Every structure is written in C-alpha cells, then in structure tokens.
Structure 1
Amino acid sequence: MENSTGKYAWTATVGTKGQLVIPKEAREIFNIQPGDTLIILADKEQGIAIPPKNTFDKYFQTIFGGKK
C-alpha cells in the first residue's frame, strides 16, 4: 500500500521455519534479489527495522564506531 508521500505498508508472513516472506512489491521497490543479505535492526520497545541495502555502511559505522 502506498500513499502520496512514498511511504509504504505491507504485511509479511513468518513461515514454519521462522523465515520472513517479504512481499513482491517491496522486493521490487527496494531491489531485493534472491541471495541478498539484509540487515535487521531491533529494539524491544520500538520494534524491528530492515533498512535499505545501500545504508549498511552508515548503520555499521553508527553501531560499531567505524571498526570494520
């Protein structure tokens, strides 16, 4: 579902093996391909976020203080 600001909302299904199924439209919009590695960020109070692939370095730097 898209609104006029380019923000989206979908539902996702967790399978019996704990795998998350990302909706096709979301995979297309964010260019998620089979075999891609995604980063999942979580906070018990704020929930889970799956940021775009092109922001990995930014999050890595923020979380680990520039140590690669």
Structure 2
Amino acid sequence: MMMNHGKIFGTTSMGERGQVVIPAEAREELGIKSGEKFVVFGDARKGTVILVKSEIMNKFANFFFNKSKRFEKIAKEIFEKTETDIEDDGEKE
C-alpha cells in the first residue's frame, strides 16, 4: 500500500521488552541492517512513532552546522529588524 510520502510495509507488535520487529520487506527496501541506530520521534496525541536512521539525522545536523553562519546572519538581520520595529512603535506613542 502506498502513501503520499512512503509505503506501508505491514504490521508489527511490541514485545515485553519493548522491542519492535521491522518487517523484512521494509528492512530490505530501506537498507536497514542489524545494529542500525535510529532517532525516535513521537506524538502521544496523534499516537504516532517515527524512526529515522541516525545517519540521516547526522547528515541533517552536519548540513545545518555547515550552513550555520548563513543562518546566523539571517537570524541577526531578522532580530535587528524586529528590534527596529519595536523601537519605532515605542517612539510613536
């Protein structure tokens, strides 16, 4: 079964020790190997759990930190503009 951004690989259940088996088809198609590390996200209200390969999160973090100078510059410009807007509003009163 296909979804907008992925595929449903079947069902699984959690054992007494909190272990969940990822279906073989998912492991094969997604290239998941034994011992693979995941970052676990969840939303209790929605009843969802999302596993993301740690290597993907590491790539994202590396990209973010490599680009952090650019993000810092943009954030500084936004912050300075916000401060200017606040000061301008204060002077009008």
Structure 1 unmatched runs, 5+: none
Following superposition of structure 1 onto structure 2, how do residues 24-63 of structure 1 map, counting pairs within 5 Å? Answer: 24-46=24-46, 47-57=48-58, 58=60
User: SS where residue 49 of structure 2 aligns?
Assistant: strand
Task: Return the structure number with greater relative CO, CA threshold 8 A, min gap 6.
Answer: 1
Letter in 2 for 1:50: L
User: SS where residue 56 of structure 1 aligns?
Assistant: helix
Between 6-15 and 42-51, the greater mean CA deviation after superposition: 6-15
Separation in 2, partners of 1:55, 1:35:
15
Letter in 2 for 1:51: V
The residue number in structure 2 matching 1:7 is 6
Letter in 1 for 2:19: Q
Separation in 1, partners of 2:57, 2:17:
26
RMSD (Å) for aligned C-alpha atoms: 2.7
Richer in helix (by share): 2
User: SS where residue 51 of structure 1 aligns?
Assistant: strand
The count of residues paired between Structure 1 and Structure 2 equals: 61
Shift of 1:55: 2.4
The residue number in structure 1 matching 2:91 is none
Larger Rg: 2
Question: TM-score of the superposition, structure 1-length normalised?
Answer: 0.65
Structure 2 unmatched runs, 5+: 66-93
Identity rate of aligned residues, in percent? 23
**Any runs of at least 4 consecutive aligned residues in structure 1 with deviations exceeding 2 A, and if so which?**
2-7, 51-55
Question: TM-score of the superposition, structure 2-length normalised?
Answer: 0.51
